[in-house]
Chains A and B, each alone.
Chain A
Amino acid sequence: MTMEPKSWGRYPRVSGQKAHPVTWTSEPLPVPPEGGSLLPHGLGRSYGDSCLNAGGSLLTTERLDHFLGFDPATGVLRCESGVTLDGILRLVTNQGWFLPATPGTKFVTVGGAIANDVHGKNHVRVGTFGRHLRRFELVRSDGSRRVCSPEENRDWFEATIGGLGLTGLITWAEIQLRRVSNPFMHQETVAFSNLEGFLKLASESNRDFEYTVAWVDSLARGRHLGRGLFHRANHAPPQFTARQPSPPRLSGLAVPFDFPGLALNRVSVTAFNALHYRMRNQGLMHYEPYFFPLDSVHHWNRIYGSQGFVQFQCVVPPNDAGVAALKGILDRSAHSGMPSFLTVLKTYGDVPSPGWMSFPKAGYSLALDFANRGERTYQLVDALDRLTREAGGRVYPAKDSRMSPESFAAYYPERERFAQYVDPAFSSSFWRRVRGAG
């Protein structure tokens, strides 16, 4: 409300957006401005332009944040769509419940989590956020309201999960949470010396660990290509309740202003990577720093300076072509002279999502962050997009600001069926871009 809404990567920048705060579920949707359109907007934790709507209105959901009910016996939570994952965790963890799937930041809304069908480090076991939805209400610009679930209005349910906010406004949702014994994680970190090492660790670890994720040294090349650290974890078993490690103090750290563009150069990335590579630990930790290490520094995106940054996240199939593509992508960025600050490798399983447009599918997912250096950066990311497409993978709209209309068509075979469910008054900068409409 206070500021021009931006996306997390702050690229691309779009202008002429008007924020329309939605405060109550019963409110009718506004009529879009002449020649404009509507788009729901959560906390803007999407990196690119999928949460932006140049020249249109953003239906901001910050105040659509009431809990509507929680049953501590069954773990069924009902809340409005602007409730944050942070709010949910604060309410439920000390009652023995946890989110079934959570992204790497807790500062996302339930509506945003549904619209991007977000996933966590346990995708292999539990699939995406959308899998754990029982129902939600969808409000359309024609004034219609539908409760959608696997039983009722199933087509709308499936179109809206991963539906990028285009099918209407989700006003509330009902989520099935998962049981935990306490707020702690038992985790360990193992180093691997190249991509093959990762693949081996990944397939071993998926048996015994619910959560797995790897950090990759983006500057390592040659026989070290893809070296990194493998983090694997489970929720701590019940016996840990007795001697609990103390929960973390909130750091209160924030990046107060944009860093000058030079802060993130090759030297600092090398230093960071070398340091991180030596970090190995094992043991019990509170869920907060485990799941949301980046959240302890507010607005860390400002480290990239006012030009912002571009994240690229793809998933490639678990076959030779997929692995070759991972190597190609890592190699390309290692040689680009524009190192990725944070490179993350994950495994996805084959638990299907109800969402037609849901991003994850079985294979390996690689995410890279590039400071925005203009054309050079865009060319690099465009090249990574092509490598992904050739390998039969796909790119994550929540992290995207570059995929081409051709790529989008190749990645999302259900797009035409989906397009029939897009609200005529809704649109986004992303949607117009990938549909080749400006």
Chain B
Amino acid sequence: MKKVLVLGATSAIAQATVRLLAARGASLYLVARHAERLEAVAQDARTRGAARVEAETLDLDDFAQHEPLVERATAALGGLDGALLAHGVLGDQERAQRSYGETEKVLRTNFLSAVSLLTPLANRFEAQRAGTLVVISSVAGDRGRQSNYVYGASKGALSVFLQGLRNRLAPAGVAVVTVKPGFVDTPMTAAVKKNALFASPEAVARGLLRAVDTHQDEVYLPDFWRPIMFLIRSIPERVFKRLKL
């Protein structure tokens, strides 16, 4: 990935990835909502050695902007061979249970906006017969649990969409990498009590790029989540529905 569009560039995982890409001398088109924060991330990437950094302030809930955004990024970097989708919200499970409005918000940001962005990106990459799409999903999408099934559903839908996309784009030589982090120590989880399962955004970013470099399709980060999620998926529904998870 040499010319990369980064969506949700101020998120902790995206920032850590941007730093690694910058150190590799990549060109970056960074998109996030807060202008000041985005500027700090862009300056940081420039200082760390990125060949070129463009930044655009945009609310990705504005779907009408997605296609033109991909156009602008491609034009600005003189081509595009990678995209990282890292924007997302945790939402509030309780509020979502009380009102569909909250549920829809989570689904829109985490699933629909990703689909809307991936559509022009996939078409472009398919046509140029090269490129890598890296999308941050979550272990929470592997099985619905009462404590956060709305967030989980948005990520689960995303993971399935990516499976299909990967299947479609493989003949064109376009890679689709599904990243499934577990708990990450970020501002998103600031209110959550930390334990040994929490990983740093830096560790997740390193794993993410390793997955890209080694052509993996789906990666759990840290990788101990793969067996854990395998177990959690294997519990029969009969038993699962009685568990407090």
Residues of A within 8 A of B (CB): 1-2, 21, 23-26, 63, 66-70, 79-80, 91
Contacts of A68 in B (CB 8 A): 40, 43-44, 47
Q: Given the known A-B contacts A1-B194, A23-B187, A91-B48, are A67 and B37 also in contact in the complex, defined by CB atoms under 8 Å?
A: no
Which of B34, B37, B41, B185 touches A1 (beta carbons < 8 Å)? B185
Q: B46 touching A69 by the CB < 8 A rule?
A: yes
Contacts of A69 in B (CB 8 A): 43, 46-47
Contacts of B34 in A (CB 8 A): 24
Which of A2, A21, A25, A80 touches B187 (beta carbons < 8 Å)? A21
Contacts of A67 in B (CB 8 A): 43-44, 47-48
Contacts of A91 in B (CB 8 A): 47-48
Interface centre among A2, A69, A80 (most CB of B within 10 A): A2
Taken together as a complex, chains A and B put the C-alpha atoms of A81 and B36 apart, in Å, by 16
* Nearest Cβ on chain B to A91's Cβ, whole angstroms: 7
Taken together as a complex, chains A and B put the C-alpha atoms of A24 and B36 apart, in Å, by 9
13 other A-B residue contacts (CB within 8 Å) besides A2-B194, A25-B36, A66-B40: A2-B185, A21-B187, A21-B190, A23-B187, A24-B37, A24-B40, A26-B36, A66-B41, A66-B44, A67-B44, A68-B43, A68-B47, A91-B47
Could you list 20 examples of A-B contacts with CB < 8 Å?
A: A2-B194, A2-B198, A21-B187, A21-B190, A23-B187, A24-B34, A24-B36, A24-B40, A25-B36, A25-B40, A66-B41, A67-B44, A67-B47, A67-B48, A68-B44, A69-B43, A69-B47, A70-B47, A80-B40, A91-B47
Name B's interface SS.
helix
Taken together as a complex, chains A and B put the C-alpha atoms of A63 and B186 apart, in Å, by 9
Taken together as a complex, chains A and B put the C-alpha atoms of A24 and B34 apart, in Å, by 11
* Nearest Cβ on chain A to B44's Cβ, whole angstroms: 4
Taken together as a complex, chains A and B put the C-alpha atoms of A1 and B43 apart, in Å, by 25
Residue of B nearest to A3 (CB): B194
Residue of A nearest to B49 (CB): A91
Which of A2, A63, A66 touches B43 (beta carbons < 8 Å)? A66
Taken together as a complex, chains A and B put the C-alpha atoms of A25 and B36 apart, in Å, by 9
Contacts of B47 in A (CB 8 A): 67-70, 79, 91
Contacts of B48 in A (CB 8 A): 67, 91
Near A by CB (< 8 A), chain B positions 164-211 give: 185, 187, 190, 194, 198
Near A by CB (< 8 A), chain B positions 1-55 give: 12, 34, 36-37, 40-41, 43-44, 46-48
Contacts of A80 in B (CB 8 A): 40
Which of B46, B187, B194, B198 touches A63 (beta carbons < 8 Å)? B187
Residue of B nearest to A71 (CB): B47
Taken together as a complex, chains A and B put the C-alpha atoms of A25 and B34 apart, in Å, by 12
Contacts of B12 in A (CB 8 A): 63
* Nearest Cβ on chain B to A137's Cβ, whole angstroms: 13
Q: Which 4 A-B pairs have the closest CB atoms?
A: A67-B47, A66-B44, A2-B194, A66-B40
